[in-house]
Amino acid sequence: MSRKTRRNGYSGLVRGQKHVRKRGDGVFGLQDVERLLENLGHLVGSLSGGGKVQAYTQIADRLSHIAGMNSTGWSWRYVASVHSGSLEPGKKFLRVLELLLEEASPRRKQWFYFAHYHSVAAVYDKSLKREMITEHMKGLGYKAVSFMRYMELKGRAVARKK
């Protein structure tokens, strides 16, 4: 963590500032972030009939609607800053941008599969909750697996019980 002096003169730790400089750390890799920002550029280009500000406003409104942040959503300036590269996008912004580009519904549900030693788990919930579910299951000792791996492990567990 880094130290930053605030306006009132108090020098305290600023959480997360160290991680902002490490682009692509966490859920999204550097290539994923670059791909999403490139696709954001294509989206801005396709919507810029009335000007870039209007295009950024439309994108910000869509992203805020998908994220359920109607009153405190992202502004067009935030989207423009992320697109120009002057501001690092947050994890939530990247996830919602990915959903927008996939044209996914905020109410869409999907299966998540996990394995832990000799047990498996499947969770059916909203796609928007992917990170939250994965972190929770990771805390329980499970790791995310593909459907094929899940079925393979489940088959072994059933065969062992017979």
129 and 74: one domain?
A: no
Same domain, 38 and 118: no
Domain boundary among 61, 82, 101: 101
Q: pTM for this structure?
A: 0.49
Query: pLDDT tens, position by position, for the chain (162 residues)?
Result: 445 544 544 444 444 444 333 444 445 566 677 877 787 887 777 776 778 888 888 888 888 888 887 778 888 898 888 888 888 888 888 888 887 877 756 667 888 899 988 789 998 887 767 778 888 899 999 999 999 999 998 888 888 877
CB 90 within 8 Å of CB 98? no
How many domains does the chain contain in total? 2
Question: What whole-number distance in Å separates Cα of residue 11 and Cα of residue 1?
Answer: 12
Q: Which domain holds residue 34?
A: 2-101
Tokens of 34: 């670059």
3-state SS of 120-162? EEEEEEEHHHHHHHHHHHHHCCCEECCHHHHHHHHHHHHHHHC
- Helix or strand or coil: residue 92? helix
Nearest Cα to Cα of residue 110 among 129, 124, 130, 95: 124
Structure token digits, residue 57: 């406003």
Please check whether residues 87 and 139 belong to one and the same domain.
no
